[in-house]
Structure 1
Amino acid sequence: MAEFSQKRGKHRDEDPLSSAVDFLLANARLVLGVGGAAVLGIATLAVKRLIDRATSPPDKDDGKEEQKSIEESWQELSLLKASTRRPKQRRDDLSQPLPSSAQAPHVPEPAAVTVSKLLSPNPPPPLCLTLQERLLTYYQNHVVVSESDITLATQLAGDIAQELQSYLHVKFPELPFGDLSLSSPLHDGLEAVAADRTCLLVPLVLEPNLWNFIPGEDTIANDPYYWVIRRTELEYFPRGSSPWDRFMVGGYLSSSVILEVLRKVLVGSVNWPAIGSMMDCLIRPGVASEELLLDVQHDQLELSIAIFPTAASEERSLLAKPQEGLLENLWQQDFYQAETSKLQELDSADSGVRRLCLQLLQGICKHHPSLNRLGINHLAEVILHLSETETDWAEDSLADRFQQVITELIGYLEEGSLPCYFNQHINLFSSLQEWEIDDMGFALYNAVTAPELLLA
């Protein structure tokens, strides 16, 4: 078979028609773009092989093999029709310009690559990769975070949480804080690209008979995403009966007042240089950030810790986040734990790749200048919605599901609304500006027919 390939290559060097075909393929990308060049490449390559085989002198011993190769070429032309209808799985590298006979020697067939070469330190790049292979390669090279970084970041964040909890108990002995806990993709096996951020939750232990959670629809903001915590039973338990009454504004527990008190503690009271010295790192509170942030610099990594006071009931968890205007005293409902738990439940039931797909999308969005405003909550919610209608999340379906998520996300961006999986009345795009939605939609729209553009 190798001898037949060499004869075909030699005949091609002498054939001006083959040189013209080579020139056409080499310039297809410039004229037609990536998607068009890929389709033209498949068709032209198949026709080219037919011409080469028809014009080359037949070998006596290779008659059967040549006939088989011609049949394979017709099969390739049949595949072209299928690829124009459903361009999800195609060989993207065929869109690359092929070397002409005057520029480069004949490239050996892929079958000639030995196992030893594949396992060598610098293996030659494969001639063709499916989208599935490209996604897995991108995952390994650009998304996966090393176990050492995850372990170190988790240890640093955990030690800082213990130190802060001890300080809060000493500083505010009258306030019943719960156990501080870490909550982020870093600790749930969903981190992508780098172990550079985590969240530290500071639970407020509220008396259930004195505080009532009011849904956002019943507030002045009329936003189901934000709740208020109202003080009750004032006629029987006057102000001062609860230690949290000092943070009350207008009969409601104020998230902004609690944030301000904790900010003063983080910036002006805690001895972070001493704590950092014990941990062999440098810890600085984020003075310029609206969030309560701690920036940690270690020899091996840099970590940002966002601190959120939280109030929880049996059915929901609310976060104190910096807001503006009427929202400054409201509490935002947190769906992160519900999202990650649901994804884990679905993947465990069918050995699916939803979480892997989520990590891939996170990595792509973090690297893309227009998509970095899409957070893990947006991506997780799209996957959860898609899981309602698409049940095949097996590993070999990763590429199809990846493309479907992109298509679904474009649809939500066009509508300017991403309904929350757990509350359809909540629009998770409500905090995005119109120009941000347009930028993200344009970037994803270009990747519908050529998803490999997102993996560049």
Structure 2
Amino acid sequence: MAELVHKRGKRRDDNGLGGAVDFLLANARLVLGVGGAAVLAIATLVVKRLIDRATSSPDEDKAKADQKSIEESWQDLSLIKAVPKPPKKQSRADLSESQLSLTAVLPAQGQDDVCCVQRTRPGQAQGNVDSVEPRTLLCLTFQEKLLSYYRNYVAIPETEVARGKQLARDICIELQSFLQNKCSELPFGSMYLGGSLCDDLQVVAADHVCFMLPLVFETTLWSLIPGEDTIIKDPQFWMIRRTDLEYIPRGSSPWDRFIVGGYLSSNALNEALHKMLVASVNWPAIGSLLDCIIRPVVASEELQLEVTHYQTQLNITLCPVTEAGDKILLANPPKGRVENLWRQSFYRSEVSKLKDLDAADSGARQCCLKILKGVCKNHPFLSKLTGSFLTHVLLHLSETESDWAEEALAARFQQAIEELVGYLERSSLPCYFNSHINLFCELLEEEIDEMGYELYRAVSEPGLLLQE
């Protein structure tokens, strides 16, 4: 008798739950439409069956399982049968509409390039169901994801850029004053700021700037040797030779102290400047004056300073540079090779060409470059792809692609990734301004393999790269 009462009570509970489910589904048809109600019905049925299993005895579960499977039950739902089948031929807009109506209730999982949000008309009360029009859904395309990634991660606020520039200028003035007092016999030119921060091409954070330190040479005592004529036969690395040593003795030029084997040594100059930065400059006093902390990087092969100003972190690289005509040479020799080499810099030409192209056709090359730089900046394998490499890829791509409007950003970004994979496969990226120069010549084989693998994965799914 007790068992019979228990079963009757349970049956009443089940009928109550069934009634609630039917009421929910009936109203869901009004609010969500037929397709939305169908998906909600499936989800509700699963929940109901879980409750049934939790409250039913094992014998009842077995009997129900024998009568009807879950798949058959889904087929019995009138709501599911009522879902209209799309006609055989539909426009892309119609297909998108039908997909969006289902995504509103049950968003697809694992789709990187789809992000759905709901919109109502301005001034419309969200709680008033009767006055709400059918909700419009917006799915982000890859183009929209790129622009969102640019706005939310890549672009730097103007105030942050201005703060970084001003701090760098103040330190630059103090360092210039020190060099004039400490090394008055060396004819340094006026130091100036350089790099992507000054050209509105820096990404993620305003955290790096270059101090360009010009070296003024006596044109009658020094001559430039093209890279093809040097010992390593690399057109990117030049040498600066001291002339007429047999007639004009050593010591006639203040730069003679840095001569090694008859050539001005970039390594010797860098070592002398490094000693001054580490041991001679009173950085605590300068930092106190500018309300910041300045530390020279002792172990770095480059001339670097680390600056902390409240929440601002700034890395400064001192770059000795000499210019002769259109040639710009940096005291930045390749690692482990001849120490007298000077690297030809194309940075100024890269930026000028890129901006000229964008100005001519209102293109999005700079935007594409900054997104690529943002992708590579903190990536464990792609960080070796510098802004210079990426700029040359885009300049090469501009030779074959003429449409650089913002609407074509996604297509150009995809092509840039494909082009990079091709260059990495060949282990060669020709310089845009001198095709005989391979910009990848200093990358290790392991680094090329790692970068090529990461980018190859992203060719079919470029959204994988947009990780903030």
- 1:33-432, aligned counterparts within 5 Å? 55-56=81-82, 70=86, 74-76=90-92, 98=106, 113-115=120-122, 128-321=139-332, 323-432=334-443
Which amino acid in 2 is paired with 1:74?
Answer: Q
* Structure 2 residue matching 1:289: 3-state secondary structure: coil
- 8 Å contact kept, 1:310–1:318: yes
Larger Rg: 2
- 8 Å contact kept, 1:190–1:359: yes
Displacement of 1:128:
1.6
User: Counterparts of 2:448 and 2:262 in 1: how far apart (Å)?
Assistant: 37
User: Counterparts of 2:148 and 2:119 in 1: how far apart (Å)?
Assistant: 22
- 8 Å contact kept, 1:290–1:322: no
Displacement of 1:304:
0.8
User: Counterparts of 2:374 and 2:252 in 1: how far apart (Å)?
Assistant: 49
Cα separation, partners in 2 of 1:432 and 1:14, compared to 1, 3 Å: same
Displacement of 1:125:
12
User: Counterparts of 1:363 and 1:190 in 2: how far apart (Å)?
Assistant: 11
The alignment's TM-score, normalised by the length of structure 2, stands at 0.76
Displacement of 1:425:
1.1
State the Cα deviation string for residues 296-329 of structure 1 (Å, max 9, x = none).
0110211110111111101211111254443222
Cα separation, partners in 2 of 1:147 and 1:377, compared to 1, 3 Å: same
Cα separation, partners in 2 of 1:260 and 1:13, compared to 1, 3 Å: closer
Cα separation, partners in 2 of 1:112 and 1:95, compared to 1, 3 Å: closer
* Structure 2 residue matching 1:439: 3-state secondary structure: helix
Cα separation, partners in 2 of 1:186 and 1:116, compared to 1, 3 Å: farther
User: Counterparts of 2:353 and 2:443 in 1: how far apart (Å)?
Assistant: 25
User: Counterparts of 2:385 and 2:279 in 1: how far apart (Å)?
Assistant: 34
User: Counterparts of 2:270 and 2:167 in 1: how far apart (Å)?
Assistant: 23
Which amino acid in 2 is paired with 1:7?
Answer: V
* Structure 1 residue matching 2:326: 3-state secondary structure: coil
Which amino acid in 2 is paired with 1:209?
Answer: T
Name structure 1 gaps, 5 residues minimum: 20-51, 58-65, 81-90, 101-108, 118-123
User: Counterparts of 1:281 and 1:125 in 2: how far apart (Å)?
Assistant: 51
User: Counterparts of 2:31 and 2:82 in 1: how far apart (Å)?
Assistant: 10
Cα separation, partners in 2 of 1:445 and 1:233, compared to 1, 3 Å: same
How many equivalent pairs are there? 389
Cα separation, partners in 2 of 1:392 and 1:76, compared to 1, 3 Å: closer
1:7 matched to 2:18: no
* Structure 2 residue matching 1:318: 3-state secondary structure: strand
- Which deviates more from structure 2 when the two are superposed, residues 320-329 or residues 366-375? 320-329
Alpha carbon RMSD of aligned pairs, Å?
3.3
Displacement of 1:9:
3.1
Tell me: higher relative CO, structure 1 or 2? Use CA pairs within 8 A at least 6 residues apart. 1
Cα separation, partners in 2 of 1:323 and 1:404, compared to 1, 3 Å: closer
Displacement of 1:259:
0.5
State the Cα deviation string for residues 375-415 of structure 1 (Å, max 9, x = none).
00010010000001111101111111000100000000000
Identity of aligned residues (%): 52
State the Cα deviation string for residues 64-113 of structure 1 (Å, max 9, x = none).
xx8xx945972249989xxxxxxxxxx99x9999469xxxxxxxx97863
Residue number in structure 1 paired with 2:449: 438
User: Counterparts of 2:411 and 2:36 in 1: how far apart (Å)?
Assistant: 36
Which amino acid in 2 is paired with 1:240?
Answer: G
- 8 Å contact kept, 2:354–2:395: yes
Residue number in structure 2 paired with 1:448: 459
User: Counterparts of 2:454 and 2:105 in 1: how far apart (Å)?
Assistant: 25
Cα separation, partners in 2 of 1:449 and 1:172, compared to 1, 3 Å: same
User: Counterparts of 1:240 and 1:13 in 2: how far apart (Å)?
Assistant: 88
* Structure 2 residue matching 1:187: 3-state secondary structure: coil
- 8 Å contact kept, 1:291–1:322: no
User: Counterparts of 2:441 and 2:305 in 1: how far apart (Å)?
Assistant: 27
Name structure 2 gaps, 5 residues minimum: 1-28, 47-77, 109-115, 125-134
User: Counterparts of 2:122 and 2:287 in 1: how far apart (Å)?
Assistant: 50
User: Counterparts of 1:197 and 1:184 in 2: how far apart (Å)?
Assistant: 8
* Structure 1 residue matching 2:206: 3-state secondary structure: coil
State the Cα deviation string for residues 233-274 of structure 1 (Å, max 9, x = none).
334433222221121111111111111111111111111100
Cα separation, partners in 2 of 1:72 and 1:154, compared to 1, 3 Å: farther
Which amino acid in 1 is paired with 2:121?
Answer: T
- 8 Å contact kept, 1:154–1:186: yes
User: Counterparts of 2:118 and 2:303 in 1: how far apart (Å)?
Assistant: 57
Displacement of 1:197:
1.0
* Structure 2 residue matching 1:275: 3-state secondary structure: helix
- 8 Å contact kept, 1:145–1:195: yes
* Structure 1 residue matching 2:212: 3-state secondary structure: strand
Cα separation, partners in 2 of 1:116 and 1:196, compared to 1, 3 Å: farther
* Structure 2 residue matching 1:307: 3-state secondary structure: strand
Cα separation, partners in 2 of 1:246 and 1:426, compared to 1, 3 Å: same
User: Counterparts of 1:99 and 1:387 in 2: how far apart (Å)?
Assistant: 38
Cα separation, partners in 2 of 1:326 and 1:314, compared to 1, 3 Å: same
Displacement of 1:294:
0.7
